[in-house]
């Protein structure tokens, strides 16, 4: 069964940028709602929906933006109540909800993107564009888990030596500073060793080659073509739609053109769920036929 994450990284990256890009440049509540549902479906496809702490964080962020915007912006003609001689308007509340929804939705899209795009896929994309950037990115991605592992070992070694005498905040801060000092020295030494090793092995002296395990298939081309087509339809159909929040909240009428834009963007954001559902149904039919 071929999952959405198994498609070519270029096609998946273009899809993620298009799906999130439309959401980033609009404040239309209908588009934001469609995009939020699509982002949640994409998270469900990647298996990230069970992380409840992420949903609590995004819900708290949305609530803060909804509550803070009416306190700093007093525009709008529908006054709900007055606080400290400042009016709190319904339009500012709705605008805060829309802005918070846009930020939360984009965060969900990028969370889905990071779950699908592993380090080897990012290297595959950047390797063809800039080999030096790909090398720098690969070294940075390698050092992130390596730094954490080495810091944990240094901390445990210092605990075994008895350097942590008391379990209080000041003692933990001193221990953290000692670990950080050791890690800075270790990082510099390791960087010099890596550079000397690359020079000894002749890096940059011959013709550069590139290895990749990813190949283009018909499904990848279809995904890329569907992404570009649906994105173009969405932008063309919704380009003239103007949602006003001030001085009064007003949604433009839903015309046939706008409905076509909503449908095309809905199909775009739900593509991962369609692909995964199709593959799961196909796999179920094959298993039932055994």
Is the domain of 26 the same as that of 147?
no
Do 267 and 247 share a structural domain?
Answer: yes
Local structure of 87: helix, strand or coil:
strand
Q: Is residue 209 part of a domain?
A: no
Q: Are 10 and 50 in a shared domain?
A: yes
The answer to whether position 125 is within a domain reads: no
Residues 178, 102 share a domain: no
43 is in which domain, residue-wise? 4-120+216-288
77 lies in a domain?
Answer: yes
Helix (H, G, I), strand (E, B) or coil at 279: helix
Tally of domains within the chain: 2
Strand partners, 88: 81
115 lies in the same domain as 231 = yes
Residues 98 and 47 both lie in one domain: yes
pLDDT at position 65:
87
Of the residues 168, 200, 232, the one at which a domain ends: 200
Same domain, 89 and 138: no
Residue 188 has what pLDDT?
85
Domain presence at residue 208: no
Q: Domain for residue 126, yes or no?
A: no
Identify the burial level of 219 via C-beta atoms within 10 angstroms of its C-beta, where 0-12 means exposed, 13-18 middle and 19 or more buried: middle
**What pLDDT digit, counting tens, does each position of 20-60 carry?**
999 888 888 899 999 999 988 888 877 766 777 777 888 88
Residues 143 and 277 placed together within one structural domain of the fold: no
24: in domain:
yes
Residue 259 pLDDT more than 60? Answer: yes
Q: Does residue 207 sit within a domain? A: no
Q: In this structure, is residue 12 part of a structural domain?
A: yes
Q: Which pLDDT score is estimated for 268?
A: 92
Same domain, 138 and 166: yes
Task: Decide which of 200, 232, 256 is a domain's last residue.
Answer: 200
Question: For the CA atoms of 74, 78, 80, 86, what is the dihedral angle to 10 degrees?
Answer: 30
Residue 164, pLDDT score: 63
Average pLDDT of span 83-107: 87
Please give the model's pTM, rounded to 2 decimal places. 0.74
CA gap 41, 280 in Å, rounded = 15
Residue 230 has pLDDT above 90, yes or no: yes
Shared-domain flag, residues 226 and 115: yes
How many percent of the chain have pLDDT more than 90?
14
What DSSP assignment string belongs to 224-256?
HHHHHHHHHHHHHHHTT---B-SSS-BPPP--H
Residues 71, 85: Cα–Cα separation, whole Å = 11
Asked if 53 and 189 sit in the same domain, the reply is: no
Confidence of residue 264 (pLDDT cuts 50, 70, 90): very high
pLDDT at 178: 83
Q: Is the pLDDT of residue 1 over 60?
A: no
- 99, 161: one domain: no
């Amino acid at each position: 069964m071929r999952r959405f994450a198994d498609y070519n990284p270029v096609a998946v990256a273009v899809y993620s940028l298009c799906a999130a890009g439309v959401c980033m440049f609009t404040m239309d509540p209908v588009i934001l709602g469609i995009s939020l549902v699509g982002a949640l479906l994409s998270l469900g496809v990647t298996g990230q929906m069970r992380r409840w702490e992420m949903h609590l964080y995004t819900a708290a962020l949305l609530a803060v933006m909804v509550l803070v915007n009416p306190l700093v912006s007093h525009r709008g003609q529908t006054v709900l109540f007055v606080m400290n001689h400042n009016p709190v308007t319904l339009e500012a509340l709705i605008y805060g909800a829309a802005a918070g929804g846009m930020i939360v939705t984009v965060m969900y899209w990028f969370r889905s993107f990071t779950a699908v795009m592993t380090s080897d896929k990012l290297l595959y994309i950047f390797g063809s564009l800039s080999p030096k950037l790909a090398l720098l990115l690969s070294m940075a991605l390698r050092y992130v888990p390596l730094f954490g592992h080495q810091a944990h070992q240094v901390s445990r070694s210092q605990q075994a030596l008895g350097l942590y005498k008391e379990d209080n905040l000041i003692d933990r801060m001193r221990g953290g500073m000692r670990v950080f000092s050791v890690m800075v020295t270790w990082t510099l030494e390791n960087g010099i060793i890596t550079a000397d090793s690359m020079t000894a092995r002749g890096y940059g002296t011959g013709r550069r080659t590139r290895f990749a395990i990813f190949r283009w298939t018909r499904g990848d081309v279809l995904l890329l073509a569907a992404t570009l087509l649906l994105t173009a339809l969405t932008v063309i159909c919704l380009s003239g739609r103007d949602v006003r929040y001030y001085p009064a909240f007003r949604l433009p009428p839903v015309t046939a053109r706008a409905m076509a834009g909503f449908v095309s963007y809905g199909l775009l954001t739900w593509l991962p769920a369609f692909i995964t559902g199709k593959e799961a149904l196909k796999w179920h039919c094959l298993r039932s036929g055994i």
